Amino acid sequence: MKRIKEAFEKKPDGLLSIFVTAGFPNLNDTVEILKELEANGVEMVELGIPFSDPMADGPVIQEASGVAIENGMTLKLLFEQLKDIRKEVSIPILLMGYLNPVMQYGYEEFCKSCQEVGIDGVILPDLPLYEYKKEYKELFESHGLANTFLITPETAPERIKELDSLTNGFLYLVSSSSTTGKKSGIDGTIDYLSRVKDMNLTSPSLIGFNIKDSESYKIACKYSNGAIIGTAFIKAIMNSNNFKITVKDFVSSIR
């Protein structure tokens, strides 16, 4: 939780967060990718927990998720791989995924493992708000885990305010009503983004979904504290045989 807060204090404008599926493209690439992202100035990382039925994702992240499962990635293995990550990486790391793998791992066990390896927050889009408030808010917080909520163009203002008051991480502004990596850009949703900006929310926010290049990153930064890029990064590393070069090139193409 603390590292997320510090990241926003240090970089309140133009924070760049990268999403990458754990265990992709190869089973043991995750730690190296994390190191390269930090080395190239990326301020935050979201690690995707692979799931067989990623209903909110477009084809690219679906594919990455499938490959990671095929590679043998599991939550248990991921925590093992991340055992010493805090000796090497200091930017905040969040775990993002669907509820079922977390449920099977066990909520308490999951929170414990997160705390042990130094995970700072979670994004679980299909965890309902009522269930979070009733059953998991305390558990997450007592393990230092920030919970991040999604907001979409269809989210009502009162609900945005409630989510703003409940998050202890940041608000994830979904750029448009779509699955990940679906639309061509984000310029069609400027009205919504400026409407949310004008609400002067207390939590920091990042814009994600359909941010893919320097242009969309710049627009995102205008309306929030920064941007999250997933699909475009997955595409970039898909066929990479040298993450040092690929990650460097990717980050410098964004800013």
At 143, the amino acid letter reads H
Alpha-carbon distance of 157 to 163, in angstroms, equals 10
Task: From 196, 213, 214, select the one nearest 205 (Cα to Cα).
Answer: 196
How far is CA 29 from its chain centroid? 18
Among 7-15, 99-107, 224-232, 241-249, the segment contacting another protein (CB under 8 A)? 99-107
Question: Is residue 9 a contact point for another protein (CB under 8 A)?
Answer: no
Answer for which of 40, 115, 168, 178 binds another protein (CB under 8 A) is 178
Which x/- pattern over 33-52 shows residues binding another protein (rule: CB under 8 A)? -----------------xxx
Question: Is residue 243 a contact point for another protein (CB under 8 A)?
Answer: no
Question: Is residue 242 a contact point for another protein (CB under 8 A)?
Answer: no
Least separation in angstroms between residue 29's CB and another protein is: 19
Laid out side by side, the sheet with 15-21 consists of 146-147, 121-123, 93-96, 44-48, 15-21, 226-229, 205-208, 171-174, 149-151
Catalytic residue among 43, 57, 120, 164: 57
Question: Is residue 103 a contact point for another protein (CB under 8 A)?
Answer: yes
* Residues in 190-219 that interact with another protein by CB under 8 A: none
Task: From 125, 22, 33, 127, select the one nearest 76 (Cα to Cα).
Answer: 22
Residues identified as active-site: 46, 57
